[in-house]
Structure formats: structure tokens, C-alpha cells
Amino acid sequence: MFNSATNEYDYDRAFPVLVRNLIKPYPMISWFILAALSGAVISSLASMLNSASTLATMDLYAKVTHEKDQNKLVMVGRVFVVLFVLLSALVAPSLDNFTSIFTYIQEFQGFISPGILAVFLLGFFSPRTPKYYGTLGIIVNVIAYGAFKWFLGPIMVENGWWYADQIAFLDRMALCFFIVLLTGLVVTLVNPLKTPGPDASEREDEPRIIQGRPDRGRVNYLGDHGPLLLFLVNSGGSFR
């Protein structure tokens, strides 16, 4: 959709306009769209909060405190969920300052994703890459992406060192990927592992299982099937 106020295309308005103009006259389809949209939002939110709290609990809290009690780890995970929800609520109002939420998300994913990809590829194909390169690669990516976004990027454009009038986020991500990859090659040549790392098939890691409350399954069931029940109840009048 074209926004005459900003003279730009507002892609986030396409779906609301579609629902309002084409689907609203048909209540049954409207409730189905609401159920599908609610289910997508709930499942995405649940998966992100679950992943974030698990990483924070098992890879940060548990390693720092050496906590082994499963009940305490579950409680800490719930606390992290609440903290992440509050943090998201604080960040959400700033989304109105961007013309597209997709661009906003992609912009800030560039601080992490190129480094993760480079670290994974080099660690997969080079068994002598030192272990600290995982942390080093992420740090280098954050610094490089921030430099290209706020410092080096404008300088390169002003001096004609770039082919366009700005460095797009995909170009910044590509540059950061090669920088992190080059950093890994350098540290591998300078300080390689004395013995190659073990092959993945030779490792026998025990699965990490956190025991939760027995009623958690019922809560998840309602969260997953609630939108469908909402659709069936409210669309019942549409069939009569």
C-alpha cells in the first residue's frame, strides 16, 4: 500500500486492508482468519520465549551458578520469561518509528546472524579452529555491523567507495560474514588446535530435560487449541 504521507510503500498495511475490504463481509471467514492469526501469534510468541528462557537459564545461569536443581532451574526460566516479556513491551512502542517492521527486524538481526553463520561453517569444515572463535566471531560481527551501520558506512558512501547511495542491511550482513570468516581463518592459522576436535558422531551428550509442573500440558493445550475453539464458537451463528 502506498502511503501518501511518507511517499513510501507501507507493506504492513496490506493485510489489514485485505481483511477490511474483502473478508469482513463474510463473518465465518473473518473468524477463521482471526483464529489462524491468533494461533500463529501465540505459537510464535511461545516458541521465542521458550527458546530465549532456555538459553538464558541453561547456557548462562546454570553455567555461572553451577545450579543442578531442576525445580530451581524451572523457576529461573519462568523469571526470564517475565523479564523478556517486559523488555518486549518496552521496545514495542518504538516500532512505530519505522516504516516497516520487517526491515526493523532484519536490520538488527544483522548484529548476530552473519557471525553465527560464519562460526558454524568454519567450525563445521575446520576441525582445528580454536574453541574461543565462537565467542570471538560473534563479538567481531557485532562491532563490524555497528561500524558499517553508523560509522564506516556513511564514510564509504560519501567518498564514493560504494556502488550505491547507502549500504543496505543485506550488504552489511554480507560484509560482516566475510570479515568474521576471515577472522576465523586467521586465528586458525595462528593458533590452531593441537588435536582436531571430536567428530559429532563420536559425541554422546546427554539430553537436558527440565521437569516442569504436570499441569503445564493442559496450559499448552489451551494455548494451542484456544483459537480454534474461538473460531468454532463464534462462527456457529454464521451457519444458521
At 45, the amino acid letter reads: L
Question: Residue 98: pLDDT band by 50, 70, 90 thresholds?
Answer: low
Least confident of 31-40, 67-76, 203-212: 203-212
Predicted pLDDT at 206? 53
* DSSP codes joined into one string, 194-213: SSPPPPGGG--PPPP-----
Which is more confidently placed, 61 or 239?
Answer: 61
- pLDDT mean across residues, the chain: 77
What whole-number distance in Å separates Cα of residue 46 and Cα of residue 25?
Answer: 32
What H or E segment, with its residue span, contains residue 52? helix 27-54
Predicted pLDDT at 141? 92
Question: Residue 178: pLDDT band by 50, 70, 90 thresholds?
Answer: very high
Best mean pLDDT range from 131-135, 152-156, 192-196, 214-218: 131-135
Contact present, 161 and 227 (Cβ < 8 Å): no
Which is more confidently placed, 136 or 96?
Answer: 136
Question: Residue 31: pLDDT band by 50, 70, 90 thresholds?
Answer: confident
Predicted pLDDT at 82? 92
Residue 148 CA to its chain's centroid (Å): 21
Strand partners, 8: 3
Residue 180 CA to its chain's centroid (Å): 20
Predicted pLDDT at 237? 43
What whole-number distance in Å separates Cα of residue 95 and Cα of residue 147?
Answer: 23
Least confident of 12-21, 173-182, 192-201: 192-201
Predicted pLDDT at 183? 92
Domain boundaries, given as residue ranges, for the chain: 100-195
53-84 pLDDT per residue, tens: 998 999 889 988 888 888 999 999 999 999 99
139-168 pLDDT per residue, tens: 999 999 988 888 887 888 888 878 877 787
Whether residue 13 is predicted with pLDDT greater than 80 in this model: the reply is: no
Which is more confidently placed, 15 or 44?
Answer: 44
